[in-house]
Chain A
Amino acid sequence: MPLTPVQLALATLLLPLGSAAFIALFLRRRGGAAAFVSVAACAGHAAAAFLLAFGGHREAAVNASFEWLRLGAFAVSIDIKFDDLAALMLCIVALVGFCVHVFSLGYMRGDSARGRYFGGLGIFMFSMTGIVLAGNLFMMFIFWELVGFSSWLLINHYCEKPAAAAAAKKAFIVNRVGDFGFLLGIIWCHHAFGTVNLAGIAAQTAAAGAGAHAISAGIPLLLFCGAVGKSAQFPLHVWLPDAMEGPTPVSALIHAATMVAAGIYMLCRVEPLFAAAPAALTVVMWTGVVTALYAALCAVVQGDIKKILAYSTLSQLGYMVAAFGLGGQTAAHAGAATAGTHAAAGGVLLAAGAAAAMFHLATHAFFKALLFLGAGSVIHGCHHEQEIFKMGGLFRKMPLTFAFFTIGVLAIAGLPFISGFYSKDAILHLAQQKNGLVFAVLVFTAVLTAFYMARMWKLVFLGRSRSEASDYVRESGPAMVLPLAVLAAFSVAGGWLALYAPWFADVAGRVPHVGGAGLVIMSAAIIALGAGVALALYKAPVRGLSKLVSPDTLAVRAPLVFGALALANALPDRLYNHYVAKIQQRLALVLNSIDRFLIDGLIVRGLAAVTGLFGMGARALHTGSVHAYVYWFLAGAALAWAFAAGVF
Chain B
Amino acid sequence: MNPLPADLLLLSIAAPLAAALAIALGLPRKPALAAAAAGFAAPALAAVWCWLAFSGAPLSDGYAFRSAYDVGLGHIGIRLALGLNGVAMPLFALAGITGLAAGLYALQSGAERLRLYLMLLLVMQGGLMGVFASVDIFFFYFFHELALIPTFIMVGVWGGRGRNYAAMKMTIYLTLGAMLSLAGIIALYQGSGAQTFDLVSLRAAIAAQPLPELAQKNIFALLMFGFGVLVSLWPLHTWAPSGYAAAPTSAAMLHAGVLKKFGLYGLLQLAFPLLPAGAENWAGVLAWLALANVLVIGMVTLAQSDLRRMLGYSSVMHMGYAFLGLAAGGAPGAGAAVMLMVGHGFSVALLFLLASCIQKRTRTPDMAGMGGLVKDAPVLAAFFTAATLAGLGLPGFANFWGELGVFVAVWGAPALGPGFAAAAVAGIIISAIYGLRSVARVFFGPRTATFGEIAEAQPPRDLRRGEKIPALILLAALLLIGFWPKSISTAIDAGLSSAAGAATSAAIDRNRLRSAAIDRGTAADAGGAGPEERRDAASTLAAAGTAAAAAK
**A621 proximity list for chain B (CB < 8 A):** none
A191 and B429 form a contact (CB under 8 A) = no
B429 and A162 form a contact (CB under 8 A) = no
B332 and A183 form a contact (CB under 8 A) = no
* Cα distance, A166 to B436, chains bound together (Å): 10
**A518 proximity list for chain B (CB < 8 A):** none
B330 and A160 form a contact (CB under 8 A) = no
Interface hub of B394, B395, B412 (most chain A Cβ within 10 A): B395
* Cα distance, A550 to B444, chains bound together (Å): 34
A146, A161, A172, A184: the one within 8 Å of B432 (CB): A172
A28, A69, A588, A589: the one within 8 Å of B485 (CB): A69
Chain B: minimal CB distance from A65 (Å): 12
Chain A residues touching B, majority SS: helix
A71 and B332 form a contact (CB under 8 A) = yes
| Contact residues on B (Cβ < 8 Å of other chain), bracket | 35 or more
Q: Nearest chain-B residue to A601 (Cβ)?
A: B238
Chain A: minimal CB distance from B129 (Å): 25
**A159 proximity list for chain B (CB < 8 A):** 374, 443-445
Q: Does B460 contact A (CB under 8 A)?
A: no
B429 and A169 form a contact (CB under 8 A) = no
Indicate with 1 or 0, residue by residue over B379-410, a CB within 8 angstroms of chain A CB atoms.
00010000001000011100011001101110
Q: Nearest chain-A residue to B337 (Cβ)?
A: A71
Q: Does B440 contact A (CB under 8 A)?
A: yes
A599 and B235 form a contact (CB under 8 A) = yes
Chain A: minimal CB distance from B439 (Å): 8
**B429 proximity list for chain A (CB < 8 A):** 173, 176-177, 180
Indicate with 1 or 0, residue by residue over B285-312, a CB within 8 angstroms of chain A CB atoms.
0000000000011011011100000000
* Cα distance, A599 to B433, chains bound together (Å): 24
Chain A: minimal CB distance from B308 (Å): 16
A-facing residues in B475-502 (Cβ within 8 Å): 485-486, 489-490, 492-493, 496-497
Q: Does A600 contact B (CB under 8 A)?
A: yes
B394 and A146 form a contact (CB under 8 A) = yes
**B486 proximity list for chain A (CB < 8 A):** 67-70
Q: Nearest chain-B residue to A29 (Cβ)?
A: B378
| Contact residues on A (Cβ < 8 Å of other chain), bracket | 35 or more
**A149 proximity list for chain B (CB < 8 A):** 389, 394
Q: Nearest chain-A residue to B429 (Cβ)?
A: A176
Q: Does B425 contact A (CB under 8 A)?
A: yes
Indicate with 1 or 0, residue by residue over A407-425, a CB within 8 angstroms of chain B CB atoms.
0000000000000000000
B375, B401, B437: the one within 8 Å of A160 (CB): B375
| A589/B336 contact (C-beta < 8 A), A71-B405, A72-B330, A74-B405 known | no
A74 and B336 form a contact (CB under 8 A) = yes
Indicate with 1 or 0, residue by residue over B420-434, a CB within 8 angstroms of chain A CB atoms.
011001101100110
* Cα distance, A161 to B445, chains bound together (Å): 5
Q: Nearest chain-B residue to A67 (Cβ)?
A: B486
**A36 proximity list for chain B (CB < 8 A):** none
Q: Does B160 contact A (CB under 8 A)?
A: no
A74 and B396 form a contact (CB under 8 A) = no
**B404 proximity list for chain A (CB < 8 A):** 76, 138, 183
Q: Does A591 contact B (CB under 8 A)?
A: yes
* Cα distance, A177 to B429, chains bound together (Å): 6
Q: Does A187 contact B (CB under 8 A)?
A: yes
* Cα distance, A584 to B301, chains bound together (Å): 12
Q: Nearest chain-A residue to B444 (Cβ)?
A: A165
A599 and B238 form a contact (CB under 8 A) = yes
**B408 proximity list for chain A (CB < 8 A):** 74, 187, 190-191
B444 and A160 form a contact (CB under 8 A) = yes
**B411 proximity list for chain A (CB < 8 A):** 187-188, 190-191
**B440 proximity list for chain A (CB < 8 A):** 165-166, 168-169
B-facing residues in A149-181 (Cβ within 8 Å): 149, 152, 156, 159-162, 164-166, 168-169, 172-173, 176-177, 179-180
B428 and A588 form a contact (CB under 8 A) = no
A184 and B331 form a contact (CB under 8 A) = no
**B339 proximity list for chain A (CB < 8 A):** 71
Indicate with 1 or 0, residue by residue over B267-280, a CB within 8 angstroms of chain A CB atoms.
00000000000000
* Cα distance, A591 to B316, chains bound together (Å): 15
Chain B: minimal CB distance from A328 (Å): 26
Chain A: minimal CB distance from B517 (Å): 12
A70-B493, A145-B395, A169-B437 known; 16 new pairs, CB 8 Å cut-off, are A72-B332, A72-B496, A146-B395, A149-B389, A156-B444, A160-B375, A160-B444, A168-B436, A169-B440, A173-B429, A187-B407, A187-B421, A191-B412, A585-B303, A587-B299, A592-B304
Residues of B within 8 A of A (CB): 169, 172, 235, 238, 296-297, 299-300, 302-304, 330-332, 335-336, 339, 372, 374-375, 378, 382, 389, 394-396, 400-401, 404-405, 407-409, 411-412, 418, 421-422, 425-426, 428-429, 432-433, 436-437, 440, 443-446, 485-486, 489-490, 492-493, 496-497
* 5 cross-chain CB contacts under 8 A: A72-B496, A160-B444, A169-B436, A588-B299, A600-B238
- 5 closest Cβ pairs, A-B complex: A72-B331, A71-B335, A165-B444, A74-B332, A592-B303
